[in-house]
Structure 1
């Protein structure tokens, strides 16, 4: 909690240090000095930054995220976009977990072999790729060169993507780097568990490698795998900012990009607070799942 409070305070200070302010960014073009001064007073920009932060924090305790520089309640702006980001990140997290377990398990069954080296090497390569680089490559290949998938997202009347195929490229752009990270975690967790006495006994009993993996190795490795996936949540939400801008996806990434351009500290802080709350909830859930799985083994 203290870390989140410090981060929110830094948001207000950082925005205050940027060139320009919300009065200039959201005001009418060519407005005179008097109009700009009136606009600054209206937005409270004539007061010290820490005073504005404290006022925003007192509202946060009541569930009020304040009003954006354009006069729209922050909760309304974020509430409309956040479900889209949760959909994008949730699908990416599920695919990441499934892909990491399949590839990590495949490499573990063939430990030290060609498959193991290829999977581990490929995981290292994709792990080093930023999400926006993956997004650009996907657009080039699947949108511009082949025309198989749309390059941008068009929102429907309800604010959601107009068709399911508009989710494919953004989800892949988020999933591919995180599969690389989690394959390494899965592979290491399975290798550690494979050295346990009960696993060695199963191997000596003549069980097939796949049965040993599924029945004896994977259950013991699940706590570490769940923890790795939970840590990916924050990275997925962070990567969603860049990915959503590339694909014009109607999520918090697009809202955040507009807020930065507007020097809109309450809106940026509101996005940060909701993202922090979501990440905290996922990490707490992962701890509960890990404790339950570890307790089941005892």
Structure 2
């Protein structure tokens, strides 16, 4: 009775082993395609940035001119910066050097990589902390609301998350400044820095992080709640419920894994909103990040510096979107 079983196992094992390299090759191909798409999107975005700066009135040479400089001095600086060359040539040179990590030279003669060396990690710290807190809060609220559909908690979470996602970051930031700093005096209103350019205390991160988290937590909580509601009607979740498993176990072990693709997509989308909102929030709280750098670069019509900021933030967003794509592909591929 037990004799044929090993033969069947021996017959199946080579087929499974042979299919493993094919699955790995398909996975590598999917990753390559996604990376190529992200790189193309980033290239198009950088092209738009170069073109948009070009159509603004003035240029970097005139914007950075000192009082009393002659037209000849400005023309000499324009030639030094290469602004007398066609736009496509300057863009081509900048894009050619980008893969090596060379972001060019700013309008004031400094290397863009040096200008971004301190602000970029600070923005990553702010955005990364806000992203982690947003995901944790959204998961907690979404799961809490989904535990009892239609109950009081579900209605409260739906109402408050709708209000939160409608609030712009600058409105939340101003409200936090008034309440937590000016009225209560619990937190510093501005960010002080250490000699290396980092925030002097973790307390100076609290309000900037909250200003970014509140709108995005509302958005993602609704995504989590909706994804769990969709999964509640899935056959495997219904079967787990009929087997007498506790609601908590059904939610966390059976519904939540299937909801991860939608949750990951929403969280990845929030990355762009968090980094975009960080520009405004950093300005309000005097946070030493890319927001201050970008504001000065726009005033100077400094195309390489603006493009460097876009390239750095775009690379981070593309990486997070890639992770979301991989989570989605893995989860959907694992379904029976």
Q: TM-score range by the shorter chain?
A: over 0.9
2:158 is matched with which residue? Answer: 120
1:69 is matched with which residue? Answer: 107
RMSD of aligned Cα (Å): 1.5
- Mapped pair 1:82 → 2:108: no
1:139 is matched with which residue? Answer: 177
1:9 is matched with which residue? Answer: 47
1:166 is matched with which residue? Answer: 204
User: Deviations 1:226-260 (Å, cap 9, x if unpaired)?
Assistant: 22111211111111111111111111111111111
User: Deviations 1:55-91 (Å, cap 9, x if unpaired)?
Assistant: 2122223321100111110111122211111111111
2:57 is matched with which residue? Answer: 19
Deviates more, 1:117-126 or 1:283-292: 283-292
Would you say the 8 A contact 2:118–2:198 is kept in 1?
no
Would you say the 8 A contact 2:190–2:286 is kept in 1?
yes
2:220 equivalent among 164, 178, 182 = 182
CA shift for structure 1 position 296: 4.2
**Distance in 2 between residues matched to 1:6 and 1:204, nearest whole Å:** 51
CA shift for structure 1 position 284: 1.1
- Mapped pair 1:248 → 2:286: yes
**Distance in 1 between residues matched to 2:252 and 2:43, nearest whole Å:** 43
Would you say the 8 A contact 2:118–2:196 is kept in 1?
no
- Mapped pair 1:201 → 2:228: no
**Distance in 2 between residues matched to 1:116 and 1:62, nearest whole Å:** 51
2:315 equivalent among 273, 277, 283 = 277
1:235 equivalent among 269, 273, 278 = 273
Q: Unmatched 5+ residue regions in structure 1?
A: none
User: Runs of 4+ in structure 1 displaced over 6 angstroms?
Assistant: none
1:257 equivalent among 295, 298, 315 = 295
**Distance in 1 between residues matched to 2:117 and 2:299, nearest whole Å:** 20
1:45 equivalent among 71, 83, 89 = 83
2:327 is matched with which residue? Answer: 289
User: Deviations 1:249-282 (Å, cap 9, x if unpaired)?
Assistant: 1111111111111110000011111111111111
- Mapped pair 1:95 → 2:125: no
SS at match of 2:117: helix
CA shift for structure 1 position 225: 1.1
TM-score (norm 1): 0.95
CA shift for structure 1 position 297: 4.3
**Distance in 2 between residues matched to 1:254 and 1:51, nearest whole Å:** 29
CA shift for structure 1 position 223: 2.3
**Distance in 2 between residues matched to 1:181 and 1:30, nearest whole Å:** 52
**Distance in 1 between residues matched to 2:243 and 2:49, nearest whole Å:** 59
**Distance in 1 between residues matched to 2:60 and 2:164, nearest whole Å:** 39
Count of residue pairs brought into register by the alignment: 298
SS at match of 1:108: helix
Deviates more, 1:234-243 or 1:222-231: 222-231
**Distance in 2 between residues matched to 1:115 and 1:232, nearest whole Å:** 24
TM-score (norm 2): 0.84
**Distance in 1 between residues matched to 2:262 and 2:96, nearest whole Å:** 39
Q: Unmatched 5+ residue regions in structure 2?
A: 1-38
